[in-house]
Chain A
Amino acid sequence: MLDQYATTLTFIALGAIFAYSFYAVLIAGQLSLGQAGFASLAAFSGAYLAPSGADVGEIPALLIAVVIGMSVGALAAVVLGLPTMHLRGVFLAIATLGFAEAVRVVLLNQEWTGGAQGLGVPRVLTVGMAWTALALVAYWFWRMGRSRYGRALEAIREDELAARSMGIDVGRHRLAAFVTAGAVAGLYGVLYAYYVRLIAPNDFDFIAAVEGLVTAVVGGSTMFLGPLLGSGFQTIVPEVQRAVGVEAGWIRPFLAGLLLLVVILFLPGGLASLIPRRTRMPSGAADDDDAAGLAGRRHPAAGEPVVTLAGLGKEYGGVHAVRGVDLEIRAGEVVGLIGPNGAGKTTLVNMISGLVPPSTGSATVLGTAIGSTPVHRIAAAGVSRTFQHSKLFNRLSALENVLVGAHLVSRPTFLRRLLWLPSARRDERAALRQAARCLARVGLTSLAATRAEALSYGDQRRLEIARALASDPSLLILDEPAAGMNHVEAAELSQLIRSLAQDGLTILFIEHNVGMVLQTCSRVVVLNFGEVIASGAPEAIAADPAVIEAYLGSADDDVDGGLLAEGTRADATPAEDAPPDAVMNLRPGDAGTLDTPDTGPREAT
């Protein structure tokens, strides 16, 4: 029975292992087609360098070849990855494809590979060995899924910039995913070589790479069983067709293509989406020890400087978005940053959180000089932020979003999870408790299992705050947190901010809702045309004639409606002087509800 299907089963296992090498990078949102090149290099070097089965026994020879092949694959991934990791999307795919093609042609022209004739390799691999190898690979990715490392990769896939701001070192994680792909592709190459008896460089061509990618995507690239399902599907469809007597020729590829099309169009998550996904819920009880399992953070004592800006400025092609800002924020303060649209508020907080390097001046945030320091380092120093336009990890649940936020305070668990160490489970629980606490704090506990993209607008904004809180920051930056919220929601938010401040958190927030800022803050800073025009206690600001002139319009308007309308008029005139990061809202109250082109400065890579 098994013998009859041994070939099919072996090919399912081999195809699945190859598909896992694509899954390894797809999970981090990278599209690479270089795996065929890794597999090719591994197959030839493994088969060529490993001792012959006659000397050491067949299985040891295979194992040695596997070790060689995986090392070669991983090494090739490092060599290819270092210069190409800054590429994204299709560019990365084509660069890696170019690499694979170059490998193919080079190997074709080598004598030791046998060129187009190929290299003979003894058949050692049995169906059992193939499935053992597949089980090990699948186990690796299964244990990775719910580890801190696995979550970080998913976060990078969903929103790279937000992942960076949560303290994830994106470059290192992407390279790690790429190297994993190289090693797994290497494993595939060697196993394939020791099964098919004769390997030629053309076995690892563009079509092979595309097949691997198709298998991974059809199976589902967000769940660890995906590649296995995909390979089963891709291998069994032709077999079934043969069994039911469909003639070879055009019908088979036609039906295969049709099925593939149907799967991709009607099952967005691939075949794996048919498997119900267990959603994680925060364990409500066991609140025994709050901080156990979490990395400790040292917060500055009240009154210590948190942010020190000296002459900070940012220029975009001659336009001064921010000019000569001197500002000190001390621990425990709640600072509101207001100003008309285009005043440079977002640019200023982007500089403070390290997303945008300043053109002039210097700044120290929590003891870290900003400028060339990468975003994740500044996050590690204790800065956490939300974004003007929500940047959530859309396909992750609310709870998972907050878990990613806890990246900096949780401990790496992947390797310990591979070994089922109880300490990994303890640490994961601690991270879950932390996430649950943050969700509860913003009142989203009941929506913990909901995907972020399915949340209402106001809930998304609250979730962003919960995610930012999860890293136990010393400085929390909120960029228009109340935009698009109604009065009730805004009042709740104001309440939340005040309660966070009572816990000793330093908060800097941008808001257009002037009433809310005046109520919430201990100090208000007013920015206009990139310069600080006033700074002081809320009452003083509300009475400051310069502020009223520049921002609030005429003083006798009522606070709620009139102020906002005047604010709009005030910035309608200088619109052409506005810095390129300014998003021109039709009405300040609508900020963020209209899908405005996001022209804010972004890191290109």
Chain B
Amino acid sequence: MQQLLNGIFIGSIYALFAIGFTLVFGILDRLNLAHPAVFAASAFVGIELVERGGLSLWAALPIVFVFGALLGLVIERVAFRPLKGRADAHFAGLISSIALAGMLVALLQWRYGPDTRRFPPGSFPDTRFEFAGAQVTLVQVVILAISLALMVGLTYMVTRTRLGRGMRAVAENPTAARVLGVDVDRVTAVTFAISSALGAVAGVLFAINVNTAQLGMGSAIELKGLAVIIVGGMGSLPGALIGGLLLGLAEVFAVQYIGSSWRDVIAFGLLFVILLLRPQGLLGARKVREV
């Protein structure tokens, strides 16, 4: 039971991270590899807000959300918009976002140094619950609640609001959307902002969960994020949620029953099988594209 809950907590963070990833991919058909750098940056910024700004953990979260959104706008402007209309935009976007990620991590190193950072002692409330014989901290419950709330909010926004309709129109056909009066550039920028804001919150929550932030934390979760969006289905928001939870659970149980060194084989074995049997992912609709 304890393992099950742990799996769900870590899985919800994976899901939140992956949802940002898959949002950009599903709508804009671009893989933004600067996303993991946003994840890492926001963890450091969150720690600094608590440590130096003296904010409580929960007051820091909205600030980090805004910080992530701003970073998303920068990423779109610098790494993606200049590539618009280029025949190799796919590859070039991958590389330019990798370059930007490298620069972001370098800036983090400049500001915070190469060492692992932690929240100051006493940042976390000590409240614990007993739940079906398992230990649960308040922090974990809040992590889960925030993740779920953000994901539900995002789903609502994409399916119900005017902006969401614009996003879906752009996903379907950017040219047609433009003809019909959708401001494609704005929708693109907003998509990046939302995606990065979610990634940023995921970063802080991850840092809270394990109480560490490291420069390399982005690349560690990057692979998992990729696995999650494939397993769930490229561009599918509920798919990313399910994929994230599945991965969290698979990892926790793999560590318990097989040994920690084999953990990643489970994740990637799962990924591989899904790609072969159901390339569109668990919940992905098969999108037929011209190459």
Contact = CB atoms under 8 A, between A and B. Distances in A.
B110 A90 contact: no
A31 B226 CA distance: 15
B279 interface: yes
A142 interface: no
Contacts of B87: 268, 394-395, 453
Contacts of B92: 217, 264-265, 268
B150 interface: no
Contact of B288 (A83, A99, A604): A604
B286 interface: yes
A45 to B, nearest CB: 19
B262 interface: yes
Contacts of A84: 275-276
B223 A97 contact: yes
B269 interface: yes
B234 A260 contact: no
A109 B291 contact: no
A83 B227 CA distance: 18
B110 A249 contact: yes
Nearest to B93: A264
A108 interface: yes
B257 to A, nearest CB: 15
A258 B265 contact: no
A528 B56 CA distance: 71
B82 A265 contact: yes
Interface residues of B, number: 52
Given A29-B291, A206-B223, A604 B91 contact: no
Contacts of B234: 90-91
B291 A89 contact: yes
Contact of A260 (B78, B99, B262): B99
Given A94-B226, A102-B269, A109 B110 contact: no
Given A95-B272, A214-B95, A261-B78, A102 B291 contact: no
Contacts, number: 144
A292 interface: no
Contact of B173 (A213, A249, A597): A597
A576 B239 CA distance: 33
Contacts of B110: 249-251, 254
A257 B100 contact: yes
Interface in B208-249: 219, 222-223, 226-227, 230, 234
B120 interface: no
A245 to B, nearest CB: 18
A431 interface: no
Best-surrounded residue of A102, A109, A252, A395 (most CB of chain B within 10 A) = A102
A90 B230 CA distance: 10
B83 interface: yes
Nearest to A99: B272
A159 B175 CA distance: 20
- Majority SS at the chain B contact face: helix
B268 interface: yes
B277 to A, nearest CB: 10
B98 interface: yes
- Majority SS at the chain A contact face: helix
A212 B269 CA distance: 24
A136 interface: no
A253 B99 contact: no
Contacts of A87: 275, 279
A89 B280 CA distance: 13
Interface in A245-297: 249-254, 256-258, 260-261, 264-265, 268
B271 interface: yes
B128 interface: no
Contact of A90 (B25, B105, B175, B272): B25
A251 B96 CA distance: 18
A300 B77 CA distance: 59
A403 B266 CA distance: 47
A31 B98 CA distance: 15
A29 B291 CA distance: 9
B222 A206 contact: yes
A480 interface: no
A514 interface: no
Contacts of A258: 99, 103
B78 A31 contact: no
A98 B91 contact: no
A552 to B, nearest CB: 31
A251 B25 contact: no
B31 interface: yes
B167 to A, nearest CB: 17
B272 A221 contact: no
Interface in B261-291: 261-262, 264-265, 268-269, 271-272, 275-276, 279, 286, 288-291
B88 interface: yes
A210 interface: yes
B95 A268 contact: no
A503 interface: no
Contact of B107 (A108, A217, A218, A254): A254
A265 B83 CA distance: 7
A26 B291 contact: no
Contact of A597 (B101, B176, B264): B176
Nearest to A453: B87
Interface in B92-121: 92, 94-96, 98-103, 105-107, 109-110
B102 to A, nearest CB: 3
A557 interface: no
A268 B261 contact: no
Interface in A540-570: none
Contacts of B275: 84, 87, 91, 94-95, 98
B186 interface: no
A327 B218 CA distance: 62
A598 to B, nearest CB: 7
27 contacts: A86-B279, A91-B234, A91-B279, A94-B226, A94-B275, A99-B272, A101-B223, A102-B264, A102-B265, A102-B269, A105-B262, A109-B262, A161-B291, A206-B222, A214-B98, A251-B110, A254-B102, A254-B107, A257-B101, A257-B106, A261-B79, A264-B96, A268-B87, A595-B175, A602-B288, A604-B286, A604-B288
Given A161-B291, A253-B109, 6 more contacts: A88-B289, A99-B268, A160-B291, A265-B83, A265-B92, A268-B87
Q: Which 8 residue pairs of A and B lie closest in terms of their CB atoms, listed nearest first?
A: A257-B102, A254-B106, A257-B103, A250-B110, A260-B99, A261-B99, A250-B109, A253-B106
